[in-house]
């Protein structure tokens, strides 16, 4: 099967021209090559920025209603290509089709949402100091926005950046992950061809060779990135001398607290979904679980029974509950975290190995550990895999302290019907999103982002649009006579 991605890149100069070296895109379920894309260079990045910069003046002047129409048209074209987009996404990324159908809905709805929000307002009028004056606060596009996209949700997280950036009047250069570029390139060719030339640009390649030149480019004032803390820190250090606008959504180590009143069967299903969706490869995956000591045995037994019932397999198989991990190095990291925890006294309850029946593909069994503590790497650093570590607590105050005992603050979950516990949790836990009884559900109108080392960016909602707009204050005096307080002071 071939995407003909290289042909797509040749047809449109906004895509990578690249070096002669190709990057193989691997199906993580079969370890087979799906297709190849060009390995971009710094020269490609520079050309894309130049093209985006040339297009910016006209695009920023384009009426908001026109921009909205183009964004809506993009969403409509994506719907026309839905089956192919979902197929490519499943083959290159690995998660089940049903999860990619949900990602597709987020992709199209995000474009539709920001199409409307982008023409709603561009600032405000403030009360003036004098009757003859007008004070306005204007929100304006920055210019060229570099959008550096991760592999785990390559279309959703692309849309969360590109749609608001375009709606605000910016042009964009997209750098998809070298692991999952195919679905983005397909959309570029089939669904964005109606945008003015240079408004949307794509450069494929590796981070050091393509993304860093974008970060360092003087004509790129905004860097929007989702990924690891280490790469985010690298981007921040490179961009700091130029005082660029940084839109960084970094790692997570989300806590999941189960209160005593929660139903064990419901808790097992909610927890498994929060921890194992996309094989645990979600920035908001549950990676730390806190159980009340008095009911820990009951909750644990329900969880193990539910996890053991899940089916591993290729994402294209409709019976699959959990697909493969994205690659060998990512699986090895998970194996290292689990081994370190067991070496320090953690107890393996289920999983903890590669499935014997699936010899090919980057699979790892959904794993449950007990007797963990915060001295273990698996409770401190982002694991990004299908592991559920369980730790007991004796009081709800202790549970909140444990939830906050982390350098990350992206999200946190709570299961309870106790309204006082819910209020304590949402007010005292330091995380950008708090889920109570409904883990990992997002809202187009609600901002998504983290606290602490998870980064301070916000995507979705009004906040997501404002990330791509800078503020200007306009003070306008209609009376052109000299002011009494002007020089000279001596008169």
When pLDDT is cut at 50, 70 and 90, the band that residue 490 belongs to is: confident
In 277-315, which residue ranges form alpha helices assigned H by DSSP?
296-308
In a domain, 489, yes or no: no
Q: Is the pLDDT of residue 207 over 80?
A: yes
When pLDDT is cut at 50, 70 and 90, the band that residue 198 belongs to is: very high
User: What's the confidence (pLDDT) of residue 393?
Assistant: 98
Q: 259-280: buried (b, 16+ CB within 10 Å) or exposed (e) per residue?
A: beebebeebbebbbebbbbbbb
Q: What's 397's domain CATH number?
A: 3.40.309.10
Q: What are the CA-CA distances from residue 291 to residues 77, 280, 398 (Å)?
A: 46, 20, 11
pLDDT digits 0-9 by tens, 387-431: 999 999 999 999 999 999 999 999 999 999 999 999 999 999 999
CB 118 within 8 A of CB 68: yes
Of the candidates 200, 206, 252, 203, the one whose C-alpha atom is nearest the C-alpha of residue 226 is: 252
Q: Is the pLDDT of residue 8 over 50?
A: no
* 414 and 459 housed in the same domain: no
Peptide bond into 488 cis (omega under 30): yes
Q: Is the pLDDT of residue 150 over 50?
A: yes
**Weakest mean pLDDT among 2-16, 157-171, 186-200, 225-239:** 2-16
When pLDDT is cut at 50, 70 and 90, the band that residue 3 belongs to is: very low
In a domain, 487, yes or no: no
Range of the domain at 342: 254-436
Taking residues 70-75, what's their average pLDDT? 98
pLDDT digits 0-9 by tens, 321-346: 999 999 999 999 999 999 999 999 99
pLDDT digits 0-9 by tens, 82-118: 999 999 999 999 999 999 999 999 999 999 999 999 9
Tell me how far apart the alpha carbons of residues 465 and 463 are, in angstroms, rounded to a whole number: 5
CB 222 within 8 A of CB 109: no
The two beta strands, 347-350 and 367-370, are: antiparallel
* 428 and 414 housed in the same domain: yes
Q: What's 142's domain CATH number?
A: 3.40.605.10
In a domain, 470, yes or no: yes
pTM for this prediction: 0.96
User: What's the confidence (pLDDT) of residue 15?
Assistant: 62
* 284 and 205 housed in the same domain: no
Percentage of the chain exceeding pLDDT 90: 95
Taking residues 120-133, what's their average pLDDT? 97
* 37 and 132 housed in the same domain: yes
In a domain, 444, yes or no: no
Using N-to-C axis directions, what is the helix angle for 264-276 and 296-308, rounded to 10°? Answer: 50
In a domain, 70, yes or no: yes
* 142 and 109 housed in the same domain: yes
Catalytic machinery residues? 249, 283
Q: Is the pLDDT of residue 5 over 70?
A: no
* 241 and 259 housed in the same domain: no
Determine whether 323 is exposed, middle or buried from the number of CB atoms within 10 Å of its CB (0-12, 13-18, 19+). Answer: buried
Q: Which helix (H) or strand (E) holds 390?
A: strand 387-393
**Weakest mean pLDDT among 5-9, 212-216, 340-344:** 5-9
Taking residues 261-287, what's their average pLDDT? 98
The set of long-range contacts for 293-299, using a CB threshold of 8 Å and a minimum separation of 24, is 293/392, 293/393, 293/394, 294/260, 295/260, 295/264, 296/390, 296/392, 298/264, 299/258, 299/262, 299/264, 299/267, 299/268
How many domains, in total, are found in the chain? 2
* 192 and 51 housed in the same domain: yes
Q: What average pLDDT does the structure give for the chain?
A: 96
* 225 and 164 housed in the same domain: yes
Q: What are the CA-CA distances from residue 113 to residues 68, 75, 123, 190 (Å)?
A: 9, 10, 18, 21
In a domain, 443, yes or no: no
In a domain, 158, yes or no: yes
In a domain, 483, yes or no: no
User: What's the confidence (pLDDT) of residue 311?
Assistant: 98
Determine whether 165 is exposed, middle or buried from the number of CB atoms within 10 Å of its CB (0-12, 13-18, 19+). Answer: buried
User: What's the confidence (pLDDT) of residue 12?
Assistant: 40
* 234 and 258 housed in the same domain: no
Residue with tokens 């006209």: 58
* 241 and 267 housed in the same domain: no
Of the candidates 236, 275, 234, the one whose C-alpha atom is nearest the C-alpha of residue 256 is: 275
* 78 and 17 housed in the same domain: yes
* 266 and 393 housed in the same domain: yes
> Which of 390, 406, 436 lies at the terminal end of a domain, its last residue?
436
pLDDT digits 0-9 by tens, 10-63: 444 456 555 568 999 999 999 999 999 999 999 999 999 999 999 999 999 999
């Amino acid at each position: 099967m071939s995407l003909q991605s290289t042909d797509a890149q040749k047809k449109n100069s906004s895509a990578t021209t690249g070096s002669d070296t190709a990057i193989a895109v691997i199906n993580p379920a079969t370890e087979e090559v799906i297709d190849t894309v060009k390995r971009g260079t710094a020269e490609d990045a520079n050309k894309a920025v130049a093209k985006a910069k040339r297009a910016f003046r006209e695009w920023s002047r384009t009426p908001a209603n026109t921009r909205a129409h183009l964004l809506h048209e993009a969403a409509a074209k994506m719907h026309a290509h839905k089956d192919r987009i979902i197929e490519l996404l499943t083959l290159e990324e690995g998660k089940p089709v049903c999860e990619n159908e949900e990602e597709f809905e987020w992709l199209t709805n995000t474009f539709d949402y920001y199409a409307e929000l982008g023409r709603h307002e561009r600032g405000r009028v403030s009360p003036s100091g004098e009757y003859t004056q007008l004070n306005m606060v204007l929100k304006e596009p920055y210019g060229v926005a570099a959008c550096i996209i991760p592999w785990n949700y390559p279309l959703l997280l692309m849309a969360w950046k590109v749609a608001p950036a375009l709606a605000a009047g910016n042009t964009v250069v997209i750098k998809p992950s070298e692991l999952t570029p195919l679905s983005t390139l397909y959309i570029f060719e089939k669904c964005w061809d109606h945008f003015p030339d240079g408004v949307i640009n794509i450069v494929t390649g590796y981070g050091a060779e393509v993304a860093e030149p974008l970060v360092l480019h003087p004509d790129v004032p905004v860097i929007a990135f989702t990924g690891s803390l280490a790469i985010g820190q690298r981007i921040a250090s490179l961009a700091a001398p130029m005082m660029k606008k940084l839109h960084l959504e970094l790692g997570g180590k989300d806590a999941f607290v189960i209160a005593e009143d929660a139903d064990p069967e419901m808790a097992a299903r909610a927890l498994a979904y929060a921890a194992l969706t996309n094989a645990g490869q979600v920035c908001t995956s549950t990676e730390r679980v806190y159980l009340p000591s008095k009911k820990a045995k009951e909750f644990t037994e329900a969880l193990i029974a539910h996890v053991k019932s899940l089916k591993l397999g290729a994402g294209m198989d409709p019976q699959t509950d959990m697909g493969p991990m994205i690659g060998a190095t990512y699986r090895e990291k998970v194996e290292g975290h689990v081994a370190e925890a067991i070496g320090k006294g953690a107890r393996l309850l289920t999983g903890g190995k590669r499935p014997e029946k699936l010899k090919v593909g980057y699979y790892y069994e959904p794993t449950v550990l007990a007797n963990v503590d915060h001295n273990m790497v698996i409770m401190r650093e982002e694991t990004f895999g299908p592991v559920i570590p369980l730790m007991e607590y004796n009081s709800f105050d202790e549970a909140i302290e444990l939830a906050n005992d982390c350098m990350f603050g992206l999200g946190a979950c709570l299961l309870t019907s106790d309204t006082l516990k819910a209020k304590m949790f949402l007010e005292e836990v330091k995380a950008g999103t708090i889920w109570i009884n409904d883990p990992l559900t997002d809202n187009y109108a609600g901002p998504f982002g983290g606290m602490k080392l998870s980064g301070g960016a916000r995507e979705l909602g009004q906040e997501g649009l404002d990330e791509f707009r800078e503020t200007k204050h306009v003070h306008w005096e209609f009376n052109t006579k000299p002011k009494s307080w002007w020089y000279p002071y001596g008169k």
